[in-house]
Amino acid sequence: MSIVILISGRGSNMRAILASRPAIAVAGVISNEPAAAGLETARALGIATAVVDHRGHAGREAFDAALAREIDAFGPELVVLAGFMRVLTARFVERYRGRLVNIHPSLLPAFPGLGTHRRALAAGVRIHGCTVHFVTPELDSGPIIAQAAVPVTASDTEETLAARVLAQEHRIYPQVVRWIGDGRVVLGDDGRVTVTGAGAAVGALACPALDGS
């Protein structure tokens, strides 16, 4: 299976996927930002890159049409959003339905959109995390494939919490890409995802930890 990765910045999740050496061919990396640092990372690894600058198009529909043409030129079976900071139109999402995935820095459906770490701290949640999901036209609401949770501590700032969540993003996103490449991710007609052969979670996570008193 071949994939195309879309980025807007340094591409840390892209690097994590590439470093995991999945049995998947990365056909190309595309960015909407010509100066995105992740493009140089991809080129250094011999991966083809392309730029579709959103500023050069008259609106979202025109940009998405140009982006789709660039993606289709690579012929991927999966499109991976890895820090791609553009809201995609419903027409674009429908074009790749079932083969377009994203990672979001919260435990969806909590805190969709931007500013997730700030909002988590303001809400006083004790557990935060990240979610890999299929993309649907409604923002950050597609079928969930995998999640990872981290504790929120009293001393956390947006920066420390973001770093803890990012470490988990780098762990679960490559895993999900490998699962999809192995044909283990099944999107049911009911909109729920099953991962075949995956171990079941055991027990429960409490934060702060319960002391039994």
104 included as an active-site residue: yes
Edge-to-edge strands, sheet with 127-134 = 49-51, 25-31, 2-7, 78-81, 100-104, 127-134, 144-151
Alpha-carbon distance 131 to 112, whole Å? 10
Kindly report, residue by residue over 11-22, the tens digit of the pLDDT. Answer: 999 999 999 876
Pick the CATH number of 103-213 from 3.40.50.170, 1.10.10.60, 3.40.50.300, 1.20.140.10: 3.40.50.170
Whether 103-213 and 1-96 are alike in CATH topology: the answer is: yes
Report which of 155, 101, 148, 150 is spatially closest to residue 128, judged by C-alpha positions: 150
- Residue ranges per domain, the chain? 1-96, 103-213
Long-range contacts for 198-205 (Cβ within 8 Å, ≥24 apart)?
A: 205/127, 205/149
- pTM, to two decimals: 0.94
pLDDT tens, position by position, 127-162: 999 999 999 999 999 999 999 999 999 999 999 999
Domain 1-96 CATH assignment equals 3.40.50.170: yes
Q: 54, 57, 104, 170: which one is catalytic?
A: 104
pLDDT digits (tens, 9 = 90+) for 168-198: 999 999 999 999 999 999 999 999 999 998 8
